Amino acid sequence: MNRWFLIGLALTCLTGMSGCRRTGTHGESAQAASELPDTEAMAQEWTLENLLEEETDLLNLSSIWEMTDEETAEWGKQFDAQDVKKLIYTNQGEIRHEYEINDPAKIGEFFDALSRIMLGGVVEGQIGVPGDEISFIMNDGKTYSFLFEMGCLLLGDEKYETDEADDLWNLTSELLAEDL
């Protein structure tokens, strides 16, 4: 979920709880209005500061390049689609699908989508079989691969929550739709 959406929702809730109380109208008694929850107290409990403290994982997102090893981060900073021989996308669903992309413009789209991904906290649990792999095979023979399990990025022995990955999954979905 987008962190700005959560902050906006909190602010909306705070402004909606400005102490306005229902006064018995249309025949309702003032006693019924007094039984409503104390919205001022609720607003104090849900200050923006409290929300930010509770949602630190969402607000402590890191760029994918901040979390990779130094060599991969440097490659990401100097990326040029013309230096990529091909991109291979592999999907390990019930049936293994592998796609090879040679078009520099499409390779650039994948790289840009990958670069927009933000990483959150480490996801607990064992690492299983990667469901998706995106590999950039360079003209010099080097390969830079990114493995995902259930939408989480695998880096070393850890798997990380991802945010802002919709563009990447839309690109992979387009490839998978070609087989339908």
54 with 83, same domain? no
Higher pLDDT: 38 or 102? It is 102
- Asked whether 122 and 166 are in contact (CB, 8 A), the reply is no
- Asked whether 148 and 158 are in contact (CB, 8 A), the reply is no
> How confident is the model at residue 36, as a pLDDT?
52
* pLDDT, tens digit, 9 for 90 and up, residues 39-70: 555 555 555 555 444 454 455 799 999 999 99
- The mean per-residue pLDDT over the stretch 99-104 comes to 97
Residue 133 confidence (pLDDT) above 90:
yes
| Range(s) of the domain holding residue 16 | 3-59
CATH number for position 106: 2.60.40
| SS3 of the chain: helix, strand, coil, percent, to 5 | 45, 25, 30
Partners of 133 in the beta sheet?
Answer: 90, 147
The order of strands in the sheet holding 84-92 is 62-63, 118-122, 158-163, 152-155, 143-149, 132-138, 84-92, 96-101
31 with 75, same domain? no
115 with 166, same domain? yes
Which tokens is 84 given? Answer: 């990529």
Question: Number of folded domains in the chain?
Answer: 2
Q: 59, 83, 105: which is the final residue of a domain?
A: 59
104 with 156, same domain? yes
66 with 148, same domain? yes
136 with 152, same domain? yes
Which tokens is 174 given? Answer: 């387009």
> What does the alpha-carbon distance between residue 169 and residue 110 come to, in Å, rounded to a whole number?
10
> What does the alpha-carbon distance between residue 106 and residue 24 come to, in Å, rounded to a whole number?
62
21 with 91, same domain? no
Residue 101 confidence (pLDDT) above 50:
yes
30 with 106, same domain? no
Q: 40, 59, 78: which is the final residue of a domain?
A: 59
| pTM of structure | 0.67
Higher pLDDT: 96 or 12? It is 96
106 with 146, same domain? yes
* pLDDT, tens digit, 9 for 90 and up, residues 162-178: 999 999 999 999 998 98
17 with 77, same domain? no
20 with 71, same domain? no
